[in-house]
Structures are given as C-alpha cells and as structure tokens.
Structure 1
C-alpha cells in the first residue's frame, strides 16, 4: 500500500501528490478554457447547435451516459460494492435494461414530437401534449424539477467535496464549498455551450478509467474473489448473504433503480437533441457499450478495494474509487482520472442547474405569468436563477455531509424525479387516455410518496417494525419502487374519471408518423402548432440563444432541417 495515501483522513503527500494536484489544476483549466472558447465560437458560427438538434449519435450516446453517471458512478457504485460485495453488480440489473428501453421506446417519439411543437423543456412538452390551458401541469412539473434537480446538484457538489477532500486533505465542509464554487463558476462561464462535447471528452476518460482499473488491479493482485471470501462469505453472495424476504426486497430495490430513467430530464433532453431520428439506434449502441463497461468496472473497483485495503480500512466508502486509483496508477495518470471524475460531476451539475433554472424562468416566469420580457432580460433572469439554485444546492450539500453519495443521489434526486415524472412521461408518449387531472395527481403522489418513504424511521420512531419482519423490509425497500407504482396507479385512476384532450388523435399522429412525412405533409393543423405559427419559446438558456442567432442569420432554414 502506498504510504503517501492517508486512508482515514484523505489527502496526498509527497511527489505523487504534487503530480496529481498539478494535473487536476491543468485539466480543470483546460475544461474552463473549452467552455469559454465554445461560447465565443457559437456566437459567430452555426455549425454546432445543440438547441438546433445537431449533435451526432456518438457524442449523444456518450453525453447521455455521462450526464446520468457522474458522482453516482464514479463514487457511489464502487462504495456500494465495497459495502455489499458482488451484490453491488445488481446496480446494472435495473439500469442497463432501463436505459435500453428508454432508447427503444421513448427517444424516437420524444425527439419527433418536441421538434414539431418547438418544446425545449419537459414542462412545455407536457403542457402541449395535454392541451393544458390552466397552467397546472407546467407549474407542478416545474416545481418538481426545481426541487429534485436542485437536490441532484447538491448530490454532485457533495461528491465533488468528497473527491476534493481526498485530493487536498481538507475537511468535508471546505470540500463542499470549493466544489460548489467550481460548479457555479463553470456554469456561469458558459460551459453549457460545450456540455455535450465535454461530456463526450470526460465520459471517454471515465470509460477508459473503469476499463483499466480492474485490469490493473488484476495484473497486480490477481482475482479478488479469494480475498472476498476470506474477508466475509457474504461478499461472494449475489444477495449479500441474505435469504427469503430480505433477499427478495434487496433485489427489488436494485431493480427499481431503473424506474428512474424516464423521469430524469437531463437524460431525456439528450434524446431531444440528437441530430437525426435515424441515428438514435447508433447512439443507443454507444450508450449501452459505455454503460456495460463502466458499471461493471465500477463494481470491480469496489470489490478490489475490499481485497486490497480490507473492509474497515476506508472509513468513508465514497473514497474507494479515488483511493484505489491512487494505489494502482502513476501520479500523472491518476490525476487525469480523478480530474475527469471531478469534471464529470461538474458537467452533470451544470446540466442539472440549467434544467432547473429554465424551469424557473422559461416555464414559470415566462410561461405562466402575464409578462413580455425581452430575450436579454430572460437571459439575465436565467443567470440569477442559476446562482440562486446553485447556492441552495450548496446548502443542501452542507446539510447532507456524512450522507453517502449513493444514498444522496437515489433518495433525494433520482427517485423523486423518477416517481413524479416517469409515469407521466411514458403515458404522454404511449397512452391516449391520459388527462391533465391525472398528470397533476400523479406528479404530486409520486413526489410526496418518495419524500415520505425516505423518512419512515423518523416518522415512526419507536413504532418502526422490528428488523427482519416483512413490514420492516417493505418500509425499507428503495422508495422509488412503491412511489412509482402509486404514481402510475393514481395517474390511471384519475385519468379514467376525467376527459382526455380533444385532439389526442392528432397528437399521436405525430408520434406514429416518420418526421419527414409529418413535415412534408405540412401537418400543422393541430392546436399545438396554432395553424402553423411558430410557437418556439423565447430564448432563455444559452443554447436557445445560439438557435435564435443562427435563425436570424439565415443559416437555419427549411433546407437545413433534419427531417428523418
């Protein structure tokens, strides 16, 4: 074991530490420079227009994966495997099929529909699809986004703080504050212009890291399984040594992670931004290869940490990935890998911050209030909202210090979005009977259930069922499982009791026809497009400004539209 690494307190000393810190600083400066350069480039050239749906399949596939994984993959999954052994591989049980089904069942329909109706946010998409004149659907979905995306940003800042604690040896509070400052600074510098390409760059390094770390560990230590069995037989059990009801609910909890995919907007917007509908299949293949290698690589990182360090050597399991990286790789290479992990967290937080700020400014302020601000005012308000949500997220991260990154993501962000918005998104694309009232009831039910389910021990106190009982396992199952079921059930029941939109058949005609056919037929008679009028929202985010600039310059015209 490298004596320069302090497993209990974090921090790196000596020559290796200097190499790593220098590499981290250089790497972050390169990323910030990339964001500044891309911002200036997009003010003058219309070649790379994310808002114009011109991102190719390889970049989209990497970006879709990198936006979801971030601190969850780099720190959370290895930490989980370090705690439960090979049962941690069940993280892939729900995740890989869910991602594949999302590409197969959601991506194409969402991509086509949102281009036709000029929707760039999920709340606007929901409102258009449900023909909601009351504003209730947009308001509730915006509130859900603001709350849980803010929690997601807080989880990323928490993860960045953990990594900075390992690299710099600072306490967790300083790590969170520095991590929050970096995230906010990176966002405000305009890195969103290049977010897809930075995801591609960072995702590539993370993919390589989780491919080479297990290989390097195997070359150095051989198979980890004998050491796992010697440490604790439960580490080599797919149910972590549990049986019966406990094993069943454990497997359900892992599988339920996949239910979060449809409700997380930072994943869904990748489907909306791909350049051509026919490229969705290629992007899905890229994403699945990325996912398979990185998920199982992350699990093996946790397993090897048990074999190399022992079960009790690392006091904070979130340190598992950086500690093993420092143990196995030379200083400069370790610095690149850890800097990429930090940057991936920043990039995800960047996207999540802007999703939340867009919900505040575009969906609530500009969409629901009787105002007529200029584009410049909306951009300024969007930046203010970004700062406010970012500061609030730092506060959440400070309050959550000591909470594992794995838990912070699943309980306070992923689960809330998945339960509140997942059943709704699936229904808008596939069920003609969905109503506005059903959508509102579903979102409220999913959000409230997810929040309550994480607090049973505090709510019940001494009345909490004894460990090992059926009711105990039920109440401690991952909350997204019951929350998603209740949300979907309420959606169906309330929708059956109310009237669906009058023009639902015309909505589904867009879903079911090829995009080229819809455009060539001039299918602009539905209320969604107001007889062909352009209902594109005012520019709010930087990518909307790019699109507005390109349209004004004459670059974006009917000859350049993607009509696959």
Structure 2
C-alpha cells in the first residue's frame, strides 16, 4: 500500500489530481474502490458480529437486503447523472462545490453547510475505522488497544498523505479483491470443517432455534442467546433503511464523479453488485458459522471473523485472511480522510482564505488537512468502549439524511431551488443529530431522509422558479457528453 502511495505521489500535481484523480478511473477500479471504501471494517467485524449475536434477525439478513438494493439503485440512477452534472456544473471536484455550482449560490452558504456536515460525520466515520484497527491488533496479537490505534493510523495516513485520490483508489482496488476472497474462503472452509451446512444449522438450532428465523428478534448477553419475540416492523424498516444512506455518502459519490466516462458505468455497476452481494452474505455466514463453531461464546462478538480464521486455518493462511480486515479498515478511512481533506482545502481554504493559491500549495494544504482530521478522529476513537457498528450507523445516517435527498432532487427535479437544497441539508442533518433525544426506536436515517425530502419540496415550491440558465444546464446533464 505504501508503494502505491509513493508511485501515485509522482502522478499528483494539481488539486483535481489529489481530490478526484483527474477523472481517470476505469470501471474496475471505480467499482471496487467505491465498494471497498463503502463497506469498511464493519463488513468483517460489525456485520459478522451482528449475525453472531442475533442470527438471521435484524442486523443480518434485513440490513444486507437494504444495502444491496441501495447499491443497485445508486449505480443505476445516480452514478451516470452525477458524473455528467459535476463536469457540466463548473467541473466540480467536491460535493460542496457541485451544490454551489448547480444552484449558482454566490453566498457560499450551500458550500459551507455541506462541508461542515462532511467534516462532522466523517470524524465519527474515520474514528470507527480506527476502532476496528484497534480491535484487530488487540485480538490478533494481544497488542495494547491504544498502541494499535496509533500504528494503524500512521500506515493509513502515510499513503493517503502521499498519493491522494489515485493512491486511495488503487489501494482500495487491491483491498477490495482481498476482502472478496476472504469472505468466500473463510465461511466455505469453516462449514466444510464442521461437516456441512446441515450440521452448522443443526448446531445453531440447538443453541436457540430462533437464530434461524428471519422474523424473530434474538439478543445476546453474557454468553446466552435469548428470544425477544417477533421482530417489530420498525426494526425491519430500520435495518433495510441502511440502503437509503447510499445516495448521500460523499466517498462513494466521489467515485461516480471520478470515473473517466459515463459509458464505463454499466460495467462498473455489474462488478459492484457481484462484489456487494457475495461479500455481504459471506460476512453473514461467518457470523452464523461462528455460533456453531465456538463452544465457549465470544466476549466481543465483533471479533468472530478474527477468531474463526485463527481456529480454522493454518497460521500462514490466517495471516493473509486477517490482512483482509486491515484492508477493509484502510480502504474506508483513506477515502474518508481524503473527502474531509478536500472539504477543508477546496471549500474553506481556497474559497475564503486564498483564492489565488497555486495548485502545489493546495495539494500541500490538502495533505496537512489529512493529518489534522486523522488526529481528531484518533482522539474520538481513544475510548475502548466504542463499537464499530455504533459509530458507523451514526455517520451513515448523517450523510444519508443530509445529502441523500439533496443529491436525488438536484439530479432529477428541475424545479428544485438553492433554498430548497439548503433546507433539505439542514433538516436532514439536524434530525439525525437530535433524533436520539426523541426516544423513538426507528433508525434516525428514516425520519431524517423523510423530513429532508419534505423540506426540499416545500421550500422549493415557495421560491420562484430557477433561472433559465440553471434549467438549460439541467437538461444538458440528462444527455450524453461528447466523451460518451
């Protein structure tokens, strides 16, 4: 990974290169980079841990269905339109710049508000990856949690600092392949060792038959699986609602913006869907098999992949499979650091402090921003009681509600206005931040997404129609570009 960082360092000369790779990604790199940066350490820690703790209930089957559907819809409808629109709207290289150019916002309010939300939620998202790294080193080598945090952070920061977007995308490509192989090999070999799939499910049923029922809610506490009755509709909706988050994730949308042409997108979509479906259900099977494999229940359910690999495989093979966990962590943190860095550099530094800054200066400011954001995230991750899934779910909801409706309406509704976009972002983001205080059990992305959409429609309808220039640009974005 560090070697890729050094190589791409020589290919990074402008801010566009550092932030968006000069829009040169092919379909394979764009697809695997988008999905590897999307899934993060929670795919090999959080999701298997949830499947281990609850069986086929809320956090496994239903969340996987929602994520697979969200991935498909995002690639099918958002990717091509966003790729075209960001090039047409002033060749925008960040999401914040796109919103400003799309609505001709001379006040810079849209840019600032979106950049603030990006920085806020990415601090928590990046912290989740650092927590995952701490869990990995602690469970594998017995290394002190805080030492593991620092070591992991240094490696990831190094190649992101050097090579920017190209380094991140190519390392994600390699890491995505490693994650894919690990989540195929680990459950298949473990199932075979246990005597086949029937033996696995018989063993699980002996511990609690409700673990095999997708409609039942099972809790895990003090080494005991306890049935909590049928899953509530609210629980199923909350799990599937994770799919809504895709439309607003800046690090995923950046891959759509960076692909070299919209005509590459159908191929990238197919690659992405194959990768997502296989890895999601591979991760779930790791959790299921863990229930059957371990006679003594795990203290930390999120270590099930790590423990399973070390029990089932030869240490040489286990080492490569455990590297997939680190790959998953790295592939997401680097993307998040880069998007947050671009928000500080492009949306604050160049816009308000140094409008005439040279490209070299901006690249180095971007690198400095990577260090600053990584340090703050490290402080957030310092508490050992943080869980990977908990931090990810908060950040995922934040981005999904703040940006998801704004992106969808800006791409597909000509009547949307600048004030509508601003209202949608503020309502969506603030709903996620304060929803927990209401006491309602539903995942905060659901009310956040809904309220943001309503705000966009109502405020846009109250405004006068967008200018003819904006409407003509909207029509242009729906047609193929010259390079297609």
TM-score, normalisation: structure 1: 0.79
Report the alpha carbon displacement of residue 351 of structure 1 after superposing the two structures with TM: 1.3
Are 1:168 and 2:168 an aligned pair?
no
Query: Any residues of structure 2 matched to 1:2-17 within 5 Å, and which?
Result: none
Q: Counterparts of 2:165 and 2:325 in 1: how far apart (Å)?
A: 18
Question: 1:155-183 deviations in whole A, cap 9, x for unaligned?
Answer: 11111111111122023333223322332
Query: Aligned partners of 1:404 and 1:48: how far apart in 2?
Result: 31
Distance 1:36 1:380 in 2: 15
Closer/same/farther in 2, CA of residues 35 and 119 from structure 1, 3 Å limit: same
* RMSD (CA atoms): 2.2
CA distance, structure 1, for counterparts of residue 73 and residue 373 of structure 2: 32
Q: CA–CA distance in 1 between the matches of 2:152 and 2:261?
A: 36
Report if the CA contact (8 A) 1:151-1:396 is conserved.
Answer: yes
Is the counterpart of residue 196 in structure 1 residue 169 in structure 2? Answer: yes
Residue 480 of structure 2 aligns with which residue? 514
Which residue pairs with 1:39 in the alignment?
9
**Aligned mates of 1:49, 1:250 — CA distance in 2:** 38
**Which residue number corresponds to residue 278 of structure 2?**
293
Distance apart, 1:42 and its partner CA: 5.7
Q: What is the correspondence of 1:59-70 to structure 2 with a 5 Å cutoff?
A: 59-70=29-40
Corresponding residue of 1:407: 390
5+ residue gaps, structure 2, are: 219-227
Distance of 1:42 and 1:357 partners within structure 2: 15
Alpha-carbon distance between aligned partners in 2 of 1:423 and 1:271, rounded to the nearest angstrom: 17
Larger Rg: 1
User: Structure 1 pair 378/52, CA: closer, same or farther in 2 (3 Å)?
Assistant: closer
Tell me, in whole angstroms, the C-alpha distance in 1 between the residues paired with 2:201 and 2:436: 33
CA deviation after TM superposition for structure 1 residue 246, in Å: 4.6
Structure 2 length-normalised TM: 0.91
Hey, what's the Cα distance between the residues in 2 that align with 1:61 and 1:143?
27
| Preserved CA contact (<8 Å) 2:309 2:318 | yes
Q: Tell me: CA distance 1:500–1:398, structure 2 relative to 1, closer, same or farther (3 Å).
A: farther
Mapped partners of 1:188, 1:38: distance in 2:
11
Distance 1:316 1:64 in 2: 29
SS of residue in 2 equivalent to 1:52: coil
| Residue 278 (structure 1) aligned with residue 243 (structure 2) | no
In structure 2, C-alpha distance between the alignment counterparts of 1:314 and 1:302, rounded to whole Å: 11
Matches of residues 161-560 of structure 1 in structure 2 within 5 Å?
161-190=134-163, 192-221=165-194, 222-223=196-197, 224-241=200-217, 246-310=231-295, 313-369=297-353, 371-399=355-383, 401-411=384-394, 413-456=395-438, 475-502=440-467, 503-516=469-482
C-alpha spacing 1:383/1:151, structure 2 compared with 1 (3 Å): same
Kindly indicate whether the alpha-carbon contact (under 8 Å) linking 2:149 and 2:378 is maintained by their aligned counterparts in 1.
yes
Q: 1:241 to 1:147 in 2, by over 3 A?
A: closer
Structure 1 equivalent of residue 53 of structure 2: 83
Partners of 1:246 and 1:333 in 2: CA distance: 38
The residue number in structure 2 matching 1:18 is none
Shift of 1:144: 0.6
Could you say what secondary structure the match of 1:454 adopts?
helix
**Alpha-carbon distance, 1:387 to partner:** 1.1
| Residues 1:148 and 2:121 aligned together | yes
CA shift for structure 1 position 43 = 6.6
Question: For the residues of structure 1 that align with 2:107 and 2:319, how far apart are their CA atoms?
Answer: 52
Match of 1:54 in 2: 24
Residue in 1 that maps onto 2:101? 128
Residue 371 of structure 1, CA deviation: 3.6
What are the Cα deviations for residues 231-258 of structure 1, in whole angstroms up to 9, with x where unaligned? 1122111023479985211110111101
For the 8 Å contact 1:441–1:490, the answer to whether it is kept is yes
| Stretch of structure 1 that moved more, 160-169 or 255-264 | 160-169
CA distance in 1, matches of 2:137, 2:321: 13
- Cα separation, partners in 2 of 1:48 and 1:394, compared to 1, 3 Å: closer
Cα distance in 2 for residues equivalent to 1:293 and 1:307: 21
Q: Give the distance between the partners of 2:164 and 2:86, measured in 1 at CA.
A: 24
Q: Deviations over 1:432-471 (max 9, x none)?
A: 1211112112111111111222355xxxxxxx6xxxxxxx
Counterpart-to-counterpart distance in 2, 1:168 and 1:190: 30
Deviation at 1:372, TM superposition (A): 2.2
1:104 corresponds to 2:73:
no
> Residues of 2 paired with 1:371 and 1:274: CA distance?
27
What is the CA–CA distance in structure 1 between the aligned matches of 2:204 and 2:80, rounded to whole Å?
44
Q: Do the aligned partners of 1:157 and 1:183 also contact (CA within 8 Å) in 2? A: no
Indicate conservation of the 8 Å contact 1:434/1:495, yes or no.
yes
Q: Is the 8 A contact 2:52 2:301 kept in 1?
A: yes
1:507-541 C-alpha deviation (Å, 9 max, x unpaired): 2222221112xxxxxxxxxxxxxxxxxxxxxxxxx
Secondary structure, counterpart of 1:173 in structure 2: helix
Query: Any stretches of 5+ residues in structure 1 without a counterpart?
Result: 1-30, 457-463, 465-474, 517-562
Pair 408,455 (structure 1): closer, same or farther in 2 beyond 3 Å: farther
Greater alpha carbon shift after TM alignment, 113-122 vs 364-373: 364-373
Deviation per residue, 1:258-302 (Å, 9 max, x gap): 110011011011111112211211100000000110000000000
